[in-house]
Structure 1
Amino acid sequence: MPVHVLSYDTAHPGDTRHLEAALGRFAPESVRRLALLVKTEGNASVNDFSREYGMLSARQAITRFGGSNLAEGATMLFSTGCEGVISPFGYAFIDVDDGTTTPSGGEKGLVFGGACSRKVAAEEIGTLAHALLVADTVRQGMKDLAIGPDDVQLIIVKTPLLGESRADPAAARITSAFSKAVGALGAALALGEIAPEHVVPEAFDRDHSLFGRRAMVFSSSEGGNVEVLIFANRAGAASDWIIHTGGFSDLLDASGIRRTLEEAGCRLDADGTLADADTLGAAFIKAGIASNGRVRQYRTTIRTSDLDMDKHVRASMSGLAGSILGTCRMFISANTVHQAPEGAGLCAFIVRKAGA
């Protein structure tokens, strides 16, 4: 089983004790590929440095475990925002060389991989060049995994914002939502979900009839690069895991999440709760709300409150999804602009194969 899916808790953004314990299960020289996807507490503003603190601590822990080359080659995506019942935690995806060879065909199994772009120039952020760079980065990641767009089930995209340290009088400052919109259209372009002629600046966060269904995008002001983490089911991959992606219609649509779990091979009990927690390796949920702020025609204050919209959404979805999954370890991100139909969302689950 070369691909391992592990999760670990954190006591604070810089806590790596459980990460180090998870890594300690493997011989450092056997690790071919490593990725972390982490939720940290924090205010999620551009002046919140919990992500940087967490990433630095994780990089140091990986270096102690396997050296600087492993740390430099690892994909580490940290997302702030643990509102509601989301527990601060991390997923560790580890591809290990166990000495076995796998056929090129046969049953599909989980593979994962990351890619990172060059630094996005300040004047490029929020432009067509930004979207095309996202598409190129996704294509780079797919090429490295020897997969095509049809194999991809989920892409996590981290796209840059223009922080104060990169401010340029000639550069248009953009919001987090706009950066997500640009990243989402770029990913959809790479997957063939949206035609190139539709990926134009006039469509960014305006034409909500354009959307993909296999990318979850979040933005950050650190780094300045586009980073992607790709999950796919590849024929012949020696893995006990598979990933399946689905969708839901709004913040109240528990049936959409349950349907996706069942399609992935999970069993639900009579109450609609995940019956066997050991079958679930990872849960990814991207939730949003329509631009008018309504859910099933009812007015909400999600878009008009003094509390940031994304915080409302993450908290709301954490209760709904947590009641089905029976866990607080959930990677939940907000704002589905160009990532799902307006007001809808997407979810993906990594599950253990039957009999594995």
Structure 2
Amino acid sequence: MNVNVFKIPQRSPDDLTGLETLIQQGTIDPATIVAIMGKTEGNGCVNDFTRGFAVQTLKFYLQAKTSIEQAKTVIYVMSGGTEGVLSPHLTVFTRENDSAEGDRRWGLVLGVHHTRNFLPNEIGTLTMIHVVAAGVKTAIAQAGLTPEHVHFVQIKCPLMTADRLDNSPIPDSYKSMAYSRAASALGVAVALGEIDPEHLTDADICHNYALYSSVASTSAGVELQNCEILVLGNARDSTSDFVIGHGVMQHALDIDAVKQAIASTGSPDRIINVFAKAEADPSGKILDRRHTMLDDSDISHTRMARAVVGAVVASVVQDPMVYVSGGSEHQGPAGGGPIAVIA
């Protein structure tokens, strides 16, 4: 498997000039695109339509370049919110089959999967966990990976708008984002053997934060009703020039974890992009100091957390064009989150 990764700046959610240039130059064959992750400049909350706008623009563009069927197979993960210094951009993943003579090396491989659509009463439940776990296992097998060599699992998951809440046990649309992210993350943990599914209950979701995945990154959006799964890891028979490593931030200011994740790639001077999760510590404290992110009624705590972690990561790599997603329920320890680096 030959995987390539391209980081492309954007002037707006519908700006594809950078992608178009790479395609015109022959650097990217649009038929080989399997996943696109993006940071868009909306609020990252329920009514952030920059995510759907970006996905719609990409789908129409790729349909014209390839086909409607091919464009539907791509994983689209748009994460809203570029608070602070975060800079809007796309990360494009391509995948090609190797030739028999390819030079094999320890390098990046990937797998993808689209789950079925979820009913409103399934979002944020054990059913969602089990469906996601099965999808993650499928993507791992597609990539030719073993669980111990998985470094990052990115999932785009659904949320519920007010008109769908009548059929859901979740009280409001904003909380549906957290429950959807949480169940998706626990699905990753189950698939990778990080937790025992036999002891999981619905009551654990968004409550028992001792249960988490160290490699899951989940992002909820109104633009889909299923989960789109991207699994990234390293394998010995790759022909990719890229490699991925990861770490786990214990708190929002954990610079050491950022540095360790970078070092784990073995190529600290050749970073392509950094992918991190961020949340306001539910204890109300960071490093034993009180924070007020959870008490602010004007600005969502997920937006504040993105700004903090974005600044921390950008200060280490000296590049504000990094992917930081807010809301890390069951994604790393409470108040922290996984961080992955591609070099």
TM exceeding 0.5: yes
Runs of 4+ in 1 over 4 A off after TM superposition: 27-30, 97-103
Give how far 1:153 is off. Answer: 1.0
Shift of 1:168: 3.0
The CA distance in 1 between the partners of 2:73 and 2:21, in whole Å, is 20
Give the aligned partner of residue 292 of structure 1. Answer: 283
Code of the aligned partner of 1:189 = V
Q: CA deviation at 1:3?
A: 1.8
**Distance (whole Å) between structure 2 residues aligned to residue 150 and residue 231 of structure 1:** 12
What residue in structure 1 maps to residue 241 of structure 2? 240
Indicate the residue corresponding to 1:302 in structure 2. 293
Query: 3-state DSSP class of the match of 1:119?
Result: coil
**What's 1:271 paired with?**
none
Does structure 2 retain, via aligned residues, the 8 Å contact 1:186–1:199? no
Alpha-carbon distance between aligned partners in 2 of 1:147 and 1:222, rounded to the nearest angstrom? 30
Question: Does the 8 Å contact 2:98/2:239 carry over to 1?
Answer: no
- Count of matched residue positions in the alignment of Structure 1 and Structure 2: 339
Shift in Å, 1:302: 1.1
Matched, 1:2 2:2: yes
Is this contact kept in 1: 2:33–2:92, CA < 8 A? Answer: no
Q: Distance in 1 between matches of 2:50 and 2:163?
A: 17
Q: How does 1:169-248 map to 2 (within 5 A)?
A: 169=167, 171-173=169-171, 175=175, 176-248=177-249
Deviations 1:278-308 (A, max 9, x none): x112210112232122101111111111210
User: What's the counterpart of residue 333 of structure 1?
Assistant: 325
Whether the 8 Å CA contact 2:23–2:30 is kept in 1: the answer is no
Say yes or no: does 1:89 pair with 2:89.
yes
Q: Give the C-alpha shift of residue 217 in structure 1.
A: 1.1
1:349 aligns with 2:305: no
Corresponding position of 2:64? 64
Cα distance change, pair 118–31 in 1 and its aligned pair in 2 (3 A):
same
SS for the counterpart of 1:303 is helix
Cα 1:87–1:128 change in 2 (3 A) is: same
**Is residue 41–residue 81 contact of structure 2 (8 Å, CA) maintained in 1?**
yes
How many Å apart are 1:98 and its aligned residue? 6.8
Structure 1 position 72, deviation (Å):
1.7
Q: How is 1:104-119 mapped onto 2 (pairs within 5 angstroms)?
A: 107-119=105-117
Percent identity for Structure 1 against Structure 2: 28
Contact 1:123–1:170 (8 Å) recurs in 2: yes
Q: Is the 8 A contact 1:5 1:282 kept in 2?
A: no
Q: 1:316 to 1:28 in 2, by over 3 A?
A: closer
How far 1:113 moved relative to its partner? 2.5
CA–CA distance in structure 2, aligned partners of residues 150 and 292 of structure 1: 31
Question: 5+ unaligned residues in a row in structure 2: which ranges?
Answer: none
Deviation of residue 28 (structure 1)? 7.8
Native 8 Å contact 1:31 1:97 kept in 2: no
Cα distance in 2 for residues equivalent to 1:197 and 1:46: 32
Q: Distance in 1 between matches of 2:336 and 2:231?
A: 22
Contact 1:116 / 1:225 at 8 angstroms: preserved in 2?
A: yes
- Asked if structure 2 preserves the Cα contact closer than 8 Å seen for 1:31 and 1:95, the reply is no
Corresponding letter in the other structure for 1:249: Q
Q: Which runs of 5+ in 1 are unaligned?
A: 268-275, 352-356
Between the aligned partners of 1:63 and 1:316, the Cα distance in structure 2 is 37
Looking at structure 2, the residues matched to 346 and 27 of structure 1 have their Cα atoms a distance apart, in angstroms, of 31
Could you tell me how far apart the structure 1 residues matched to 2:223 and 2:31 are?
27
State the distance in 1 between where 2:159 and 2:215 align: 22
Partner secondary structure for residue 109 of structure 1: strand
| Offset of residue 169 of structure 1 | 4.4
Question: Quick one: distance in 2 between partners of 1:170 and 1:5?
Answer: 38
Q: CA RMSD in A?
A: 2.1
Q: Deviations over 1:19-63 (max 9, x none)?
A: 222233448878445210001011223222111111111112212
SS at match of 1:280: coil
CA offsets, 1:122-161, max 9 Å, x none? 1211221111111111112122223222221110012211
Among residues 146, 159, 162, which one is paired with 2:160 in the alignment?
162
Q: SS where residue 144 of structure 1 aligns?
A: helix
Taking structure 2 as the reference length, what is the TM-score of the superposition? Answer: 0.92
